[in-house]
Amino acid sequence: MASTARAHTNIALIKYWGKRDADLILPYTDSLSLTLDEFYTTTTVDFDSQLKHDHLMIDGQVISPDKSAKVAHFMDLVRQMSGQKAFAQIKSVNHVPMSAGLASSASAFAALAAAASRAAGLNLTPTELSRLARRGSGSATRSVFGGLVQWHRGIDDESSYAEPIMEKVDFGLEMIAIMINRQQKKVSSRGGMQASVDTSPYFKIWPEVVEQDLKAIKIAIQERNISKIGEIAEANAMRMHALTLSAQPPFTYFEASTIKAINLINQLRQTGLNCYYTMDAGPNVKVIYDQKDRPQILAALGQVFGQDNLVVAQPGPGIEYLETIECED
C-alpha cells in the first residue's frame, strides 16, 4: 500500500541544541517554532515485497544505500512498530523556492514519518506521529503541526513530543528568509550540537537560559506582541550560536554576509522598523517582523541582498495526506 504526505519546515524561535539521548533523540530542553508555508517536502512511501533494500529518491535523484543510512534506520523503526516486513520505495520532493538552502530534515522526516506509518498500516495519533518523526530528526517532531509549536523535551520516548500552542497564527507574524549561501552546511546540526554539549563550558547554563526564554516568549505569544517575540527569539538564537563559538575547537555557522544581515536588521530597527533575526545551523538569516512592515523591509533587504535572494514566508500548516498520484520506478 502506498501513501503520500506533505510536511512543512519550521524555524525555531527558541532553539533545540543538544541531546540527552542520541539514540532516542531526547533533547536537553523544550523548544518552540513556527511552521512555514513556503518550504515543504512531499514524500510517497510504497512497501514492496520484491525489494531487497529501501530505495530512496530525492528530487528525482537516486540516493545510494550508503548515503541513505539514516532513512533506512528510520524505516526499520516503522517496520518494527507495524510488523510490516517489506522494504519500500521512497520518493521525496522538496519544495524550496530558489533551490536548496532551506531544504530541511524537519520537513523531510515529518513527511516520511506520516507517509511511512500510513503505508505500513499504522494509524497514529498526531502525538504518536510527532514522537515517531522525532526519531528521524529532532526538529521534525515540531513539523507535524502547523503554526506555533512547542516540543516538550519529556523524560523518555513516550513523553517527548510536540504540541501546537497556536495553530492559526492570525496576528501578522511573518518571516523573510535571506538566502546567503545555498551550499550544504559544513558542520551538520547533529555534529554541531554534540560538539557544543561535549565541549562548551557554557552548555551547563543553556537549559536554564531556554527555560527563561521559553517562558517569556509564551507570554509574548499570548499578548500577540511581535516585537517581544522577535526580541526574545533573536537573543535565544545568539545564545545558541554562542555555544558553537565557545566549543573546543570553536566553530561558527556565520559567514560574512550573515553579519552583514544582522547589522542591517539592527540599523532598520533604529529607524523604527520592527524586525529581528534568527539563524539555525547555517549562514542563512530569517527575519521576523510584522506583516504590515513587509514592503519597507523587503525594499531595504533587497537593496543589499537582491530581491531574488529573499523569500517571504507565512505561518504554515501541519501534516497533510495527499492522494498518491504516480508510483513508477
Q: Give the relative orientation of helices 206-222 and 226-245 as an angle to the nearest 10 degrees.
A: 170
Rule CB under 6 A: which of 23-52 touch ligand DP6?
A: 25, 31
The CB-of-296 to ligand DP6 minimum distance in angstroms stands at 28
> Which residues within the stretch 118-157 sit at the binding site for ligand DP6 (CB under 6 A)?
137-139
- In the bound state with ligand DP6, the residue whose beta carbon lies nearer, of 16 and 206, is 16
Query: Smallest distance from the beta carbon of 141 to ligand DP6, in angstroms?
Result: 8
Q: Tell me phi and psi for residue 177, to 5 degrees.
A: -90, 125
Q: E-strand spans in the chain? A: 2-14, 19-21, 26-27, 31-48, 55-58, 61-63, 87-95, 148-152, 161-166, 173-178, 275-279, 285-290, 310-313, 320-322
- CA dist., res. 183 & res. 99, Å (int): 10
Site for ligand DP6 in 171-210 (CB under 6 A): 189-190
What minimum distance in Å lies between the beta carbon of 173 and ligand DP6? 17
Cβ proximity to ligand DP6: between 16 and 87 the closer is 16
User: Considering CB under 6 A, how many residues would be counted as binding ligand DP6?
Assistant: 13
Stretch that binds ligand DP6, among 11-19, 58-66, 207-215, 321-329 (CB under 6 A): 11-19
Chain residue at closest Cβ approach to ligand DP6: 138
Q: How far is 149 from 318, CA to CA, in rounded Å? A: 10
**Those residues with Cβ within 8 angstroms of residue 60's Cβ, 6 or more apart along the chain or in another chain:** 93
Which residue lies nearer to ligand DP6 by CB, 136 or 269?
A: 136
Amino acid of residue 195: A
Nearer to ligand DP6, 31 or 117 (CB): 31
Per CB under 6 A, the list member of 90, 281, 285, 311 interacting with ligand DP6 is 281
Q: Which residues contact 135 (CB under 8 A, 6 or more apart)?
A: 24, 25, 74, 77, 113
What's the helix, strand, coil split of the chain in %, to 5?
40, 25, 35
What would you measure as the largest C-alpha separation in the chain, in angstroms? Answer: 64
Q: Hey, what's the cell of 314? A: 507565512
Give 4 or 150: the residue with its C-beta nearer to ligand DP6: 150
Beta strand spans in 59-179 (E): 61-63, 87-95, 148-152, 161-166, 173-178
What's the N-to-C CA distance of the chain in angstroms?
Answer: 15
Q: Which is nearer to ligand DP6, 84 or 284 (CB)?
A: 284
Does 16 contact ligand DP6 by CB under 6 A?
A: yes
Based on the shown chain and the rule CB under 6 A, indicate whether residue 234 belongs to the binding site for ligand DP6: no
Task: List the one residue from 2, 5, 12, 297 that touches ligand DP6 (CB under 6 A).
Answer: 12
Cα 174 from Cα 287, distance rounded (Å): 8
Q: Is the dihedral of CA 26, 46, 164, 265 positive or negative?
A: positive
Q: Least distance (Å) from ligand DP6 to the CB of residue 57?
A: 21
CB of 292 to ligand DP6, least distance (A): 27
| Nearer to ligand DP6 (CB atom), residue 102 or residue 297 | 102
By C-beta, is 47 or 74 nearer to ligand DP6? Answer: 74
Return residues touching ligand DP6 (CB under 6 A): 12, 15-16, 25, 31, 105, 137-139, 189-190, 280-281
